[in-house]
Structure 1
Amino acid sequence: MNDKLWHGADLIFDLDGDHLPGVTDRDFPGMLDVIRDQAHSLWNDFLQPEFGFDESFLQVTFSGHRGFHLHYRDPSLFHLDSEARRELVSHIRGEGVDVHGGLTRFSDPNAKGWTKRIRNQIPTLIDKLVTIAEGNEDSSRVMKGLHLGLKENLQREGKPGKGPASIQKLADMFLHEERRQSVASGQISRLGSHQGLFLDLVKSDASIVLGAAGETDEVVTIDVRRQIRWPTSLHGKTGMRVTEFPLERLDRDGSNPFDALTEAFVFGKENRIDLEIIVDDAILRFGETQHDVSRGDMLHVSESAATFLSLKGWAKLV
């Protein structure tokens, strides 16, 4: 790299729905909503408040497929090598975070960083565990998401894995209303031998999932040689445009949230092409029109939709 007169690299954060536990691109609109929230959280919960990043150096883009890229171009950080960038990623992922130690400041209103994140995440995790314990309609999906996230986190930290049966036992403990309220107020000891699992779940559920960089399995942020698709280029797996937009449009509750499924299609939008769906099931949206499809369904769609479905391998021309 020195022979190439390398001067530095942007900090790039790649958030890809393909790496989110329990999320599938077969519900493409739902996946994009989840990963957009992750990108919004990455900036507002980590990069800006904890690292002091300045929005004036930030470029936000839709990747053209399953996620979003945050490019940070502060010249003072160009020199950071892979190890320095790895430390940023480790913090965002919560690797090595002492969750139990963070509980000592559970009631501190001025707590920041992972201490604040742990406190805020506990009620959310409790709600998910109650959903699992009660066997609600979403219980299987919630269980899958928690288990996959926990599995990845434990593997990174070299800890032994825990299966769905362990999570189910923990979840059943939250059917007890008094225990639920006690844990929500920070009294984790009420969980007895399940404390460790609960705290590991808190950490994995509060972390941000960053996309992997190809065959190396290193996240894009760490790879200083990684080339990222340039805005206005088209993604070869969808035909969608890599689209730049202002940071505030990452907020789904904002006045003008970014909508990739309306704004990133570049081909014709008039419905004039017939397709047959060739995957078992998928949820799709093109502009304002949503489709819940199964294998063998016929669709009459636009050039943009036909390009997307054909490149994804989800439909064929008829």
Structure 2
Amino acid sequence: MQSLGYDDVKDATERVAGHVRPVAVAPGGTGGRGYELFFALEFLQHTGSFKARGAQNFLQAHREAGTLPSAGVTIASGGNAGLACAWAARRQGVPATVFLPGSAPKLKVERLVGYGADVRFAGTEYAEALAACEEYAAESGALASHAYDHPLIAAGAGTLMEEIHQRVPDLDTLVVSVGGGGLFAGVATAARRHGVRTVAVEPEHCRALDAALEAGTPVDVTVDSVASDALGARRVSAAALHAARQDDTRTVLVPDAEIVRARQTLWDERRLVVEHAAATAFAALTSTTPAYRPAPGEKVCVVLCGANTDPADLVR
């Protein structure tokens, strides 16, 4: 993968301006240890997740370069990246073919059809859908996008940090969920420029970043989590591994039970409906034994990255 730098994020910020919804940052009160909490409500973004930023940047950059084919764009996704790709493709007037694993939530499939995407299923995990997508791109001439492992996608995601910094210029720490690492790589690149620490949070059994740090290189991992529809990448991107090796980042793991509890807490106490993937970041602060403990007075922002979920299991 090509290198990712802050200039890439700045270029992406100019491309997506006026095309994505500026993030709302809401005060979340004071944590139990006296830290100041904020929530980045990115689940209010077009298509219901941060993925719209990367998709818009990717397709707009190809449009500007004259490399957006009439055959359109194709992508493999657990759901959210496909939704964003289909949305951005419709805005660019080109077709989108989206490959999903059979485990993709029905809600996301229905929304993809609503965006006009050609939805195709392959295998039971994201990696199998990706292999089918790559084969289709080679045969059809469609432009192959990626759910997370592309500098334009990661840079687009990094525009979120630029907006958060504008709203909370003295922020100390950003807490973000990690799957394949596109969002983490992008926001960490921007956060470093602004002197902000980044905490990368993974489910215990979707630990592609943690395993890469342990092995010293991206490696395949087993995927088995309540948040795997969005955080279920078998292998993290090289850009995410590079970001995680910097002194201003931390990586932590949280169990599924705490992810479920954090999601329920966001509903019970704040009436926020988010995906398990979004609740994963919050779980780092709220677990019975918190994976990340802010210091007194620390200003912490949790990214609530998506809300493409069925709220039926939020029972209270």
Q: Structures share a fold, TM > 0.5?
A: no
Q: Which of 1 and 2 has greater Rg?
A: 1
Task: Give the TM-score category using the shorter length.
Answer: under 0.3
